[in-house]
Structure formats: C-alpha cells, structure tokens
C-alpha cells in the first residue's frame, strides 16, 4: 500500500523542518506526494529562498506561501496584515484552496499550544488549519476554489512531557517556557533517525535563523549524538476527519 500524501501547514519558514522534517523526508523517500504551506513571510525575502532550499532537501516541492507578516517581524511582508490579524474567513479560504488543490490524505500542523515555544503565529496556524480541514470537504463552502476534498486525518506536531529530559538543558538558556503535553496524548511516535541527515540539513538551510540564534542556531553547534537526541524522534496527536481504514492514513513509523 502506498504511503499517504501529506500536506504540512506551519507558521514560519523553519517550522516545517524542525517540527516535521523527518516525516516529510520519510514520506517523500517512500514515494508519497508531500508539500508545505507556510503562513508568513513574503516570497521575495531571503527566508523564502531558504525555505525553498529546505523543502528541496526534504523532497516537499516548491514553497506554498500565504505571505502574511510574522506577528513579531512587520518587515517580513510589507503591506500585508500580521498573520494573527488576518480576517479568519479569508485565511481559512486560502488554506482550503491549497487543500483542494493538493488533495492530501494527511495534514500536519502545530498543536494547540503552538509547539514548544507557544508562538502566537503557531497557535493561530493550528486554529486556521483545524477549521480548514473540515471546511475543505463541504461543497457549499468556498465555491470559488476547486472541488471539495476531505483529508482523512489531521496530525498535530507536539512534544510529550518526557521530551523535557532531552530539550531542557538546551532550552533553559533561552529563558522561555516549554509547552508540552502528557505522554498519553501522543498517538504517533516516529523514529526519524534514518532521515536525520536530511532533517538537520533542512533546519540549517534556514541560515537567517541560525545566525540570529533561533532554534536552528541551537542545533547548529551540536554533535551528531546531541542532534539525534533532540531531533531523532517526532511526536504527533492524530485526529480522524473521515471514515477510513487507519492503515491508509497512518504516518510512516
């Protein structure tokens, strides 16, 4: 049985590589169609070029950018509203258009906390994606886009409480809280160490973030064992969206 097609929806360039780079690489290597929608930054910025390089490494095709402004970086998309300020119906419609165009069986996005950082753009992306995956299958919504398409499963990229053992020492110097979920809420634990080289290369392709000391900058100086400890496992919480045999929409693990 072929692996399910997968569309990832994340807030910023680099989120896709950090949160789901292993799964994206693994599915692409297995012959699945994969793609990434990125909510923020305009297509004419250096970060967009870095995103294109990262997606090429992961086998996820060209960027699909909504082009809103990062809520903390106004110059990321001059003249466009911040992602968190965009009219909700407009944002959902744009994402529905991508869902109906790509027609994925599986959608991956941030969890309700917005991942470890709890960034407000991550949280908003979770909300917009959750609405869009349901709306995409309803024929009377957003008729100006393509024919309805119902993804079968939504996977939320998350971190269990037990991940604090690995991340805590590296995260503590940032002074930021870590948002994790009880381990029992994780429904898919994916070992991505065979694809770790691609995942790390994609993370480090986001050179702007490496330079400024964001999460890719934390990864850059680490040894291979430390990188494997932090990035070698990905965790997800699955939500079923349509009746289907589970084997058809399970992440490769």
Q: How far apart are CA 86 and CA 97, in angstroms?
A: 16
| Helix residue ranges, H only, 143-182 | 164-171
Inform me whether the pLDDT recorded for 172 exceeds 60.
no
Q: How far apart are CA 103 and CA 72, in angstroms?
A: 32
Instruction: Choose the CATH number for 6-248 among 3.40.50.10320, 3.90.110.10, 2.60.40.10, 3.40.50.920.
Output: 3.40.50.10320
Name the residue ranges covered by the structural domains of the chain: 6-248
Inform me whether the pLDDT recorded for 244 exceeds 80.
no
**CA geometry: angle at 27 spanning 22 and 33, to 5°?**
130
Share of the chain above pLDDT 90, in %: 85
pLDDT in tens, 215-228: 899 899 999 999 99
Amino acid 19: pLDDT: 97
Amino acid 242: pLDDT: 81
Q: At 145, phi and psi to the nearest 5?
A: -100, -170
Q: What is the pTM assigned to this prediction?
A: 0.95
Q: How far apart are CA 46 and CA 49, in angstroms?
A: 5
């Amino acid at each position: 049985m072929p692996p399910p097609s997968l569309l990832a929806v994340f807030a910023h360039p680099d989120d896709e590589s950090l949160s789901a780079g292993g799964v994206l690489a693994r599915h692409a290597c297995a012959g699945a169609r994969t793609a990434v929608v990125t909510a923020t930054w305009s297509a004419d910025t250096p970060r967009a070029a870095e995103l294109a390089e990262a997606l090429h490494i992961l086998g996820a095709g060209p960027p699909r950018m909504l082009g809103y402004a990062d809520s903390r970086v106004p110059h990321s998309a001059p003249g466009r509203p911040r992602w968190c300020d965009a009219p909700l119906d407009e944002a959902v419609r744009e994402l529905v258009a991508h869902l109906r165009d790509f027609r994925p069986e599986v959608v991956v996005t941030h969890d309700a906390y917005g991942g470890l950082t709890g960034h407000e753009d991550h949280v908003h992306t979770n909300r917009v994606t959750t609405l869009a995956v349901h709306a995409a299958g309803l024929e009377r919504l957003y008729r100006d886009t393509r024919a309805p398409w119902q993804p079968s499963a939504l996977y939320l990229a998350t971190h269990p409480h037990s991940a604090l053992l690995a991340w805590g020492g590296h995260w503590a110097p940032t002074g930021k809280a870590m948002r994790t979920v009880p381990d029992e809420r994780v429904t898919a634990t994916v070992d991505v160490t065979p694809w770790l080289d691609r995942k790390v290369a994609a993370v480090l392709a986001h050179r702007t973030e490496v330079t400024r000391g964001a999460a890719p900058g934390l990864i850059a100086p680490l040894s291979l064992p430390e990188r494997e400890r932090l990035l070698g496992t990905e965790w997800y919480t699955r939500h079923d969206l349509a009746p289907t045999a589970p084997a058809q929409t399970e992440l490769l693990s």
